[in-house]
Chains A and B, each alone.
Chain A
Amino acid sequence: MAFYENTIIARQDLSEKDMVNLIKKYDEIISNSSGKVIKIEEWGLLNFSRKINNYKKGFFIHFKFEGIKETVDSIKNKIKVDSTIIRNLTVKYKKLDKETEFFKKKN
């Protein structure tokens, strides 16, 4: 078992209901394919440094989970089909840093 981080950029013009469903959807995909979700972070609406697919902003969602190769493959296959997601990135870690949050909202 190894640790993974997965960031997803969703389209800007989604409603709040769709966002909740989208997070719930990928949460279930990970847990169904012999994985375990440790933490979910919502970075919120952020500006891109340049245009990506004619979009200027995007909604960032960040998953931290533990799993095997099949869990990563199942997520990647689902993302390929999903039209609401612009970009994604998965990174493998031996040790996972759970505490530090770089995109915390200031109250």
Chain B
Amino acid sequence: MKRKNKKFQKRGNNALNNLSLFKKNDGKFSKKKCPLSTTNTSTANAPIIDYKNISLLKKYISDNGKIMSSKITSVSFNKQRKLTKEIKKAKLLGLI
């Protein structure tokens, strides 16, 4: 019990702990929101996911032509499933 009390006091006394830079996150990480959904984007209209809309699809493809994972791009699960289908259609036509 004594030890616990000492530790708590030390933290509180240190002036650096109050600064935002040195404050520890309590296991909370702010997750990015999906860039393709309507509720999260600043503009009212969400971009159309379609195999004709090449300029959008090219953003979610690596240089070698692989589809980027949603861990990197933070696209939601529902939209990622749509994206992969449309990218494969565009590849078949030789557009990408």
B92 within 8 Å of A by Cβ? Answer: yes
How far is A52 from B93 in the complex, measured between Cα atoms in Å?
9
Main SS at interface, chain A: strand
Report the contact-size class of chain A (Cβ under 8 Å from the partner): 10 to 19
B17 within 8 Å of A by Cβ? Answer: no
Asked if A46 and B95 make an inter-chain contact with CB atoms under 8 angstroms apart, the answer reads yes
Given that A89-B89, A91-B89 are contacting pairs, would A102 and B52 also be in contact in the complex, using a CB cutoff of 8 Å?
yes
How far is A102 from B50 in the complex, measured between Cα atoms in Å?
10
Given that A102-B53, A102-B54 are contacting pairs, would A7 and B93 also be in contact in the complex, using a CB cutoff of 8 Å?
yes
Asked if B93 and A89 make an inter-chain contact with CB atoms under 8 angstroms apart, the answer reads yes
16 chain-A/chain-B pairs, Cβ below 8 angstroms: A7-B93, A9-B94, A46-B95, A49-B94, A52-B94, A60-B93, A87-B92, A87-B93, A89-B89, A91-B51, A91-B89, A97-B48, A100-B48, A102-B52, A102-B54, A103-B52
Q: What 13 new A-B contacts, CB under 8 Å, besides A89-B92, A91-B51, A97-B48?
A: A7-B93, A46-B95, A49-B94, A49-B95, A49-B96, A58-B94, A60-B93, A87-B93, A91-B89, A100-B48, A102-B50, A102-B53, A103-B52
Q: Which residues of A contact B (CB under 8 A)?
A: 7, 9, 46, 48-50, 52, 58, 60, 87, 89, 91, 97, 100, 102-103
Pairs A-B, 7 closest by C-beta atoms: A48-B94, A102-B52, A52-B94, A102-B53, A49-B96, A49-B94, A89-B93
